[in-house]
């Protein structure tokens, strides 16, 4: 495989300074702006760096770190290493010699762990351990082997002809998928902003009254404990004891304040920041929020502690622990469904990245990149399973970073791959990243995920003029997707209950189907995909095409003279033809049409209708 692309400029000879720092006017890049004191209207946006533009090593590392920090919150050490390796190939976009295919998208797109397989993994491992007596290591190895076998689905999809790809994944499907992924991710961002996902999922109801005993006094002054009703919270507090000493309920003022500090910092940098600060606003806001959290305390307790850093190894690597691979047939169908869903996500995420990178999302180049991303998804799924990690997929978070920073250069993507790999190997550095408070991380990611929604909306509008058909598909998809996003128990409680006699194969299929229905973006994506295939295309508008509705085929001997008239209800009292040429007069037989009767000639009880016409149009009278 070789890296070949007609759009990529030839390499240039650069000095060492240019290689390290690039060729920039650093006075302009680093000078803050004060728009309210500027007499000129508006402030120029930060410079946009295209896919193949040169950044310089230092700038690329800063930009790449933003992408890495946007996705490391939920990844473990082994996953970081695998993500770094496969992100490199995703950004590289290596053309396969002698074929129209490539391996990887060739754009700034990062790979991350797909957590849609977690429910299936939990179910399969539980069955293997409880019913078949396997140890956890054996059960996890069997699941990884099954994942590696099913990961060929994205590989197969990557070789489907272009016309089928365009038919199955038009802009309306890709745009809906991207938009719903952003909506789903904003929920995750808000959970982190409020203190953490675990306490958010277990703090869904307000404090409730419970029976308790409170001190009371008899009239004679004797004290006793009287039964009463006390308002007591659920008792689940946010916080990880390995990284913080502060444990507060979800949505506490302290957590909201830390996240809001990061969110407001991004806004301030957008208003007053220099071009470089606006390009690097994500990492600057995140580090500022982290610094504040590390310096302040609550009731003498620290928000950030170093226990995790102290216990982490200096250097680590993959395969220090191995799992014997196997195969579990009942998990095949659920995993196939999951890989089809992740393939839809990949198509949408890649299209969103191309849109943010100002590259065409259609045509041969766009299709080749999407198919290269699908191929990389399949190979990543196989490799990650062999590397003891859950399967990877194209991440949507990075689309928001590109839209916010205006940097789409592949050099930032290679730098992101380097950071992910480095964070996976250097245990101390990786542990330091994981000590970022969830609320600080949530304030940043919520803003990024909103940009993902904007990318989806833009793809829908640019790719489809919102015809009646596309609006119908959009409405149906959003109705189901937003419904399950707001009320997920609609699909998880009693739609398909688990029974004691349900075998493992049926349980796996049930879990996969419920997973698809109860996850907003998968439900909406599948709905949009199916409706796009079964709903017929809108016919060209007759008015727009210059044609007319309901031409009169046979209305007596003069039907040909009325070809531009609309069909009106027939009045049985009239014997005259429904229309006459505009040049005809009531008494002129030379006009070529039957003379129209005058009012005096009309039969008794007849009604005369006259429609005003534009000059040159046919006059109509009955």
Cα–chain center distance at 174: 9
Tens of pLDDT, residues 241-261: 888 999 998 889 999 999 999
Question: How much of the chain, in percent, has pLDDT values that exceed 70?
Answer: 78
* 39 confidence band (pLDDT: 50, 70, 90): low
Highest mean pLDDT among 76-80, 181-185, 232-236: 181-185
Give the per-residue pLDDT at 105.
93
Strand partners, 229: 211
**Residue pair 579/565 in contact by the 8 Å Cβ criterion:** yes
Alpha-carbon distance 169 to 182, whole Å? 18
* 588 confidence band (pLDDT: 50, 70, 90): very low
Evaluate if pTM is beyond 0.75.
no
Task: Delimit the domains of the chain by residue range.
Answer: 47-206+243-534
Strand partners, 555: 557
Give the per-residue pLDDT at 546.
47
* 455 confidence band (pLDDT: 50, 70, 90): confident
Lowest mean pLDDT of 1-15, 418-432, 485-499, name the range: 1-15
Highest mean pLDDT among 179-193, 211-225, 230-244, 593-607: 179-193
Alpha-carbon distance 466 to 282, whole Å? 34
Q: How many residues does the chain have?
A: 622
Q: Dig out the tokens for 420 from the structure.
A: 């992910």
Tens of pLDDT, residues 85-99: 999 999 999 998 888
Give the per-residue pLDDT at 559.
42
Alpha-carbon distance 435 to 442, whole Å? 13
**Residue pair 284/264 in contact by the 8 Å Cβ criterion:** no
Tens of pLDDT, residues 118-159: 767 877 887 788 777 888 889 999 999 999 999 999 999 899
Whether the predicted pLDDT of 578 surpasses 70? no
Alpha-carbon distance 372 to 100, whole Å? 10
Whether the predicted pLDDT of 78 surpasses 70? no
Give the per-residue pLDDT at 209.
67
Alpha-carbon distance 69 to 63, whole Å? 10
- pLDDT averaged over every residue in the chain: 79
Give the per-residue pLDDT at 594.
45
Tens of pLDDT, residues 377-433: 999 999 999 888 888 888 877 887 888 788 899 999 999 999 999 888 888 887 888
Whether the predicted pLDDT of 100 surpasses 50? yes
Helices in 273-331 by DSSP H: which ranges?
A: 275-279, 281-295, 307-311
Tens of pLDDT, residues 214-226: 777 666 666 666 7
Highest mean pLDDT among 37-41, 262-266, 343-347, 366-370: 262-266
Lowest mean pLDDT of 36-50, 157-171, 173-187, 575-589, name the range: 575-589
Tens of pLDDT, residues 298-340: 989 999 998 888 888 888 776 667 788 999 887 888 788 788 8
Query: What's the CA angle centered on 446, arms 445 and 452, to 5 degrees?
Result: 90
* 558 confidence band (pLDDT: 50, 70, 90): very low
Distances (CA, A) of 213 to 210, 218, 431, 575: 10, 15, 45, 96
Tens of pLDDT, residues 518-532: 888 888 988 998 999
Alpha-carbon distance 445 to 72, whole Å? 11
Give the per-residue pLDDT at 150.
92
Higher per-residue pLDDT: 604 or 233: 233
* 568 confidence band (pLDDT: 50, 70, 90): very low
Tens of pLDDT, residues 264-308: 999 999 888 888 888 788 889 999 999 999 999 998 999 999 888
């Amino acid at each position: 495989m070789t890296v070949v692309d007609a759009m990529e400029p030839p390499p240039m000879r650069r000095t060492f300074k240019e290689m390290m720092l690039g060729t920039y006017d650093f006075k302009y890049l680093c000078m803050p702006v004060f728009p309210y004191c500027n007499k000129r209207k508006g402030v120029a946006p930060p410079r946009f760096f295209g896919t193949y533009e040169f950044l310089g090593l230092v700038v690329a590392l800063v930009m790449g770190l933003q992408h890495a920090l946007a996705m490391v919150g939920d990844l473990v050490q082994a996953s970081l290493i695998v993500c770094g390796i496969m992100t490199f190939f995703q950004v590289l976009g290596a053309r396969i010699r002698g074929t129209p295919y490539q391996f990887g998208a060739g754009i700034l797109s990062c790979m991350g762990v797909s957590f849609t397989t977690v429910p299936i993994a939990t179910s399969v491992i539980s069955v293997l351990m409880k019913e078949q007596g396997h140890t956890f290591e054996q059960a996890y190895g069997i699941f990884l082997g099954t994942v590696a076998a099913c990961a060929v689905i994205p590989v197969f999809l990557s070789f489907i002809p272009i016309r089928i790809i365009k038919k199955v994944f038009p802009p309306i499907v890709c745009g809906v998928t991207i938009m719903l992924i952003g909506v789903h991710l904003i929920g995750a961002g808000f959970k982190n902003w409020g203190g953490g996902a675990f306490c958010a999922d277990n703090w869904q109801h307000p404090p409730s009254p419970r029976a308790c005993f409170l001190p009371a006094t008899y009239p004679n002054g004797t004290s006793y404990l009287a039964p009463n009703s006390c308002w007591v919270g659920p008792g689940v507090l946010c916080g990880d004891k390995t990284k913080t000493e502060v444990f507060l309920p979800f949505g506490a003022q302290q957590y909201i304040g830390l996240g809001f500090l990061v969110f407001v910092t991004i806004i301030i940098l957008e208003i007053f920041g220099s071009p470089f600060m606006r390009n690097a606003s994500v990492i600057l806001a995140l580090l500022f929020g982290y610094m504040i959290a590390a310096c302040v305390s609550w009731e003498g307790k620290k928000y950030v502690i170093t226990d995790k850093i102290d216990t982490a190894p200096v250097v680590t690597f993959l395969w220090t622990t191995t799992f014997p691979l196997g195969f579990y047939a009942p998990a095949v169908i659920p995993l196939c469904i999951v890989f089809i869903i992740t393939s839809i996500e990949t198509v949408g995420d890649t299209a969103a990245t191309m849109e943010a990178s100002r590259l065409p999302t259609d045509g041969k180049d766009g299709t080749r990149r999407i198919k290269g991303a699908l191929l990389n998804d399949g190979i990543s799924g196989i490799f990650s399973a062999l590397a003891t990690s859950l399967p990877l997929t194209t991440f949507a978070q990075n689309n928001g970073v590109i839209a916010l920073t205006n940097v789409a250069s592949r050099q930032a993507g290679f730098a992101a791959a380097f950071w992910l790999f480095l964070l996976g190997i250097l245990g101390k550095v990786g542990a330091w990243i994981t000590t970022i408070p969830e609320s600080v991380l949530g304030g940043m990611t919520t803003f990024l995920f909103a940009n993902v929604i904007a990318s989806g909306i833009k793809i829908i509008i640019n790719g489809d003029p919102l015809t009646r058909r596309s609006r119908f598909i959009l409405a149906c998809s959003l109705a189901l997707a937003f419904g399950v996003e707001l009320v997920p128990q609609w699909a998880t409680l009693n739609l398909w209950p688990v029974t004691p006699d349900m075998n493992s194969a049926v349980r796996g299929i049930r879990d996969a189907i419920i997973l698809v229905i109860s996850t907003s973006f998968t439900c909406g994506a599948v709905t949009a995909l199916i409706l796009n295939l079964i709903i017929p295309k809108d016919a060209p508008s007759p008015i727009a095409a210059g044609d007319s509705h309901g031409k009169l085929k046979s209305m007596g001997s003069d039907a040909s003279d009325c070809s531009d008239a609309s069909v009106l209800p027939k009045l049985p009292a009239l014997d005259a033809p429904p229309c006459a040429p505009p040049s005809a007069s009531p008494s002129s037989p030379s006009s070529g049409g039957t003379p129209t009767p005058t009012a005096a000639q009309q039969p008794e009880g007849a009604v005369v209708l006259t429609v005003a016409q534009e000059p040159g149009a046919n006059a109509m009278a009955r």
